[in-house]
């Protein structure tokens, strides 16, 4: 379980981080370091106050005050300062962790604000060159790197591993946006509270977890293309889809997803769901695909 959660955190295709209530960065994943240009300078990011990276200090203060008041914030537009002196436009989702009414930590999802999507609305688009209006999702996906969770956890003692497990369990369950894992057989292995709430299953977890992921997609060709991309190692970045709520209504979402492998075998996906801020955007409907099995 710890390895699965560590992989979910460190290899997510978007920035994940945990800060103390005062804003000090406690833990950050690879994508977060890439966003702020600190991939090779982790020590310059972890341990600093995240507010220092906001181009707009007032926005940083506003987020802090709202989280302190118990708010969960989604799709917040911001600009972050990067190591080379430039800024990066991002979308932020954030929630606070409270213990006995005391604010003890903050959970952050940080996405680069991408213009394009994968798959592209233009299926004949030839992707090449530097990031552009039709290419930035592809380029971001190509930049992502994965680390083995066992290597990340190596050297931790048993008490440290237990503390990390508790921290990541809280991060998964209390995350500010939806997260689920899908197994090699296509069944949803687990889903967090935000995802269950988003799709109306908060009081019916057993009708969601343990069921095939196809069940929640309204357009079957799109889910088959999503699965194909995962299995073939293609990036699933800024991927638009329509999910089915428990009440039968359609929920427009943006999906970010990646595949966890262990010894070359399919272990599980790590999928992130965000409410689509442009629900009328065009969808690409590709050809079908069959979900593979290890057996």
Q: What's residue 285's pLDDT?
A: 55
The 10 Å Cβ neighbour count of residue 81 is 15
Asked whether 188 and 214 are in contact (CB, 8 A), the reply is no
**CATH class label, 2-143:** alpha beta
Does the pLDDT at position 294 exceed 60?
no
Average pLDDT, the chain: 87
Fold of 177-295: Beta-Lactamase (3.30.450)
Does the pLDDT at position 283 exceed 90?
no
User: Using CA of residue 52, residue 53, residue 54, residue 60, what is the dihedral sign?
Assistant: negative
Query: Side-chain half-sphere of 100: how many Cα atoms within 13 Å?
Result: 0
Task: Choose between 127 and 236: higher pLDDT.
Answer: 236
In 3D space, the residue among 108, 136, 99, 106 whose CA is nearest the CA of residue 33 turns out to be 108
| Residue range(s) occupied by CATH 3.30.450.20 in the chain | 2-143, 177-295
> Scanning the structure block, which residue is given the tokens 């600093």?
48
Stated pTM of the model:
0.89
Where does the pLDDT of residue 68 fall: very low under 50, low under 70, confident under 90, or very high at 90 and above?
very high
pLDDT tens, residue by residue, 98-122? 999 999 999 999 999 998 876 655 5
pLDDT tens, residue by residue, 43-53? 889 999 999 99
From 21-25, 85-89, 143-147, 277-281, the region with the lowest mean pLDDT: 277-281
Q: What's residue 129's pLDDT?
A: 45
């Amino acid at each position: 379980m710890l390895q699965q959660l560590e992989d979910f955190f460190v290899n997510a295709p978007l920035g994940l981080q945990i800060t103390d209530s005062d804003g000090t960065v406690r833990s950050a994943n690879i994508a977060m370091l890439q966003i702020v240009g600190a991939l090779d300078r982790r020590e310059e990011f972890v341990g600093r106050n995240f507010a220092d990276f906001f181009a707009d200090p007032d926005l940083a203060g506003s987020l802090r005050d709202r989280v302190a008041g118990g708010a969960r914030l989604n799709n917040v537009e911001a600009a972050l300062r990067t190591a080379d002196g430039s800024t990066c436009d991002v979308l932020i989702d954030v929630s606070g962790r409270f213990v006995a009414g005391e604010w003890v930590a903050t959970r952050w999802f940080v996405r680069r604000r991408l213009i394009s999507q994968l798959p592209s609305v233009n299926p004949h688009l030839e992707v090449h060159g530097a990031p552009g209006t039709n290419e930035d999702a592809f380029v971001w996906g190509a930049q992502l790197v994965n680390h083995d969770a066992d290597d990340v956890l190596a050297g931790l003692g048993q008490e440290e591993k237990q503390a990390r497990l508790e921290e990541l369990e809280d991060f998964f369950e209390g995350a500010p946006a939806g997260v689920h894992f899908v197994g090699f057989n296509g069944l949803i292995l687990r889903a967090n509270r935000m995802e269950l709430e988003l799709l109306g299953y908060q009081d019916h977890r057993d009708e969601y977890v343990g069921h095939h992921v196809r069940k929640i997609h309204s357009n079957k060709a799109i889910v088959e293309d999503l699965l194909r991309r995962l299995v073939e190692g293609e990036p699933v970045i800024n991927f638009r889809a329509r999910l089915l709520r428990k009440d039968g209504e359609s929920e427009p979402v943006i999906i970010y997803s990646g595949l966890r492998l262990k010894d070359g075998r399919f272990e599980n996906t790590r999928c992130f769901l965000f409410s689509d801020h442009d629900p009328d955007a065009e969808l690409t409907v590709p050809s079908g695909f069959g979900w593979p099995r290890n057996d």
